[in-house]
Structure 1
Amino acid sequence: MARPTPETRAAYPHPHPTPTRWADNDVYGHVNNVTYYAYFDTAVNTYLASRGALDLREGEVIGLVVETGCAFFAPAAFPETLSVGVRVAHLGRSSVRYELAVFREGEDAACAQGHFVHVYVSRETRRPTELPDVFRAALEDLRVG
């Protein structure tokens, strides 16, 4: 598989400001790779909650991550405020492929970019379920391609 090249902010319709924290840095002085996944999860779920699609405590539908990946291009470190760009590359009946990119202040090229796939399931049965209309509407606004 060919290594991806960094994309630009314009490729991601929803920016999510993400301040780094002291604990995000590792012993090498930059944000640890696993922390980027938390940034991705936070950006997507904050967006969904802001659109009324995600009800963390009472919602009938929850998203389970079934696939994820990330490519790193340049380091970020505390104290920086990053921006996590969010887009939807595929919107299925019960699944969504989110693509995300992390941008440092003042830089147009991503320092990291990745993806994850959510399969939305019934909170009660844990079986795949069709995305509710409010989810689909929110996700359509992020769809590219």
Structure 2
Amino acid sequence: MLRVDIEKQLGEFSLSATFTSEGRVIGLFGASGAGKSSLVNMIAGLLRPDRGTIVIDGETVDDTSAGIHVPTYRRRIGYVFQDARLFPHLNVAQNLDYGRRMNGLTPDPAQHKRIIELLDIGALLDRRPGKLSGGERQRVALGRA
């Protein structure tokens, strides 16, 4: 569950968003410059709202009135940046496994296999990001998230 009720002033641009979603995957769409990236950056903890709250799975990660701001690395959410941002020194398999390892989670071979098959990236596992096409990098970034 995600609950957002925020405001942010970015130069001359004012962003205000209020919504709740029960979905595990959420898509945002809108015109260029509408504030989509800024909103996602606030949800991820990369940007602080000027006012409001963000609650992820029942945990308040931002509450400006209470002075709460949980750092990005503690929010346990996946974020696919527009430019994929894969770790260049890791191969595809290591990039896919990064979140699990950094959170100390037990390996789940069945889940790992499902992701690889869903995204059709089995043939890429030993390759580094620099040897992937743009679409391949996006699929790997989705799998990592």
Global fold match (TM > 0.5): no
* Higher RCO (C-alpha under 8 Å, 6+ residues apart): 1
> TM-score band (shorter)?
under 0.3
Higher helix fraction: Structure 1 or Structure 2?
Answer: 2
Tell which structure's C-alpha radius of gyration is larger: 2
